[in-house]
Amino acid sequence: MFLVVGLGNPGSGYAANRHNIGFMAADELVRRYSFGPWRKKFQGQISEGELNGQKVLVLKPETFMNLSGQSVGEVLRFYKIPVENVIVLHDELDLPPGKLRVKRGGGHGGHNGLKSIDAHCGKEYRRIRLGIGHPGDKSRVHGHVLGDFSKAEQDGWLMTLLDAVASEFGRLTKGDDGGFMSKVSAIVSPPKPKAPKKDKPAADNTKGAKGASGAKGAKGDKNSDATNQPQAGEGIDDISGAAKVRLERADTPVSNAASAMAEALAKAFGKKK
């Protein structure tokens, strides 16, 4: 059995606070997996359900943040749940908005909810640190955490983060903390698509073709019969058959090659678009 604890403060006046992101995550988890209705018990609200065949309790302490450990401790003692099976969802000042980290044990980092749980239950539980960002100045921290998320935040990264946490939460009950973090990160901040490779314009083979044929022709002329070479004063009708073919090919306008090249370039740039 697992106990999932969403941290926050009770009452409508705190509902949209950044400090209540743990409550929000717990609500989304219960909604997504159709857990049972919230019931007032253990100094909080509790809901029951299953994930991956494991019974899961979701708790929202209503003791106010700095006494959260009292409520969590009551649930652990009643159901005899080991502290290692506790997962706490809470706000994290030291992570940018929308970022997430999973941590087991360690210090409370000045978070009063974690400090209370440490005192009543021990430290070896998992913490899902949900980034809300830091206001930049210590004197502004209190107003920041107890301030509401903006409309842009609620409709943007916050909604995406809560949805991703709920959708991938089953990985945590399997002990796949790394997979959980990777999947949530990919949903909230998907990698930017790579820019398509630009097609190289078709090479101009006109000059090469001319040079090659010219060289080949020159070489061939040395070995050809002298009677096949056009003489001064001869018209094209007076020239022998082989030489006449060569001369006609040489006199073919380059407009056909230029036209083909233009068509190739048009196709290449068309692919770019």
pLDDT, tens digit (0-9, with 9 covering 90-100), for 10-64: 999 999 999 999 999 999 999 999 999 999 999 999 999 999 999 999 999 999 9
184 and 230: one domain?
no
Domain end (from 188, 217, 237): 188
Mean pLDDT, range 167-187, rounded to an integer: 96
How far apart CA 260 and CA 128 sit, in angstroms, is 63
pTM of structure:
0.70
Share of the chain above pLDDT 70, in %: 70
112 and 151: one domain?
yes
- Are 59 and 75 in contact by the 8 Å Cβ rule? The answer is yes
210 and 183: one domain?
no
What single DSSP character describes residue 148?
B
pLDDT of residue 189: 86
Q: Determine, yes or no, domain membership for 241.
A: yes
DSSP string, 115-142: HHHHHHH-S-SEEEEEE----SSGGGHH
19 and 152: one domain?
yes
Nearest to 260 by CA among 213, 208, 204, 198: 204
pLDDT of residue 212: 47
Q: Which range marks the domain in which residue 262 is found?
A: 206-272
Tokens describing residue 53:
């065949």
pLDDT of residue 110: 85
pLDDT tens digits along 230-265: 454 444 455 455 444 454 444 444 445 455 555 554
* Residue 233 half-sphere exposure toward CB, CA atoms < 13 A: 0
Instruction: Count up the domains in the chain and report the number.
Output: 2
Active-site pick, 19, 90, 111, 144:
19
pLDDT tens digits along 107-139: 888 899 999 999 999 999 999 999 999 999 999
Domain end (from 125, 158, 188): 188
183 and 221: one domain?
no
- Name the strand (E) or helix (H) holding 50: strand 44-51
Known active-site residue 144? no
Domain end (from 135, 162, 188): 188
Q: What is the CATH number of the domain that holds 118?
A: 3.40.50.1470
Q: Determine, yes or no, domain membership for 200.
A: no
130 and 249: one domain?
no
34 and 153: one domain?
yes
- Cβ-in-10-Å burial (0-12, 13-18, 19+) of 9 comes to buried
175 and 247: one domain?
no
What's the mean pLDDT when you consider all of the chain?
Answer: 82
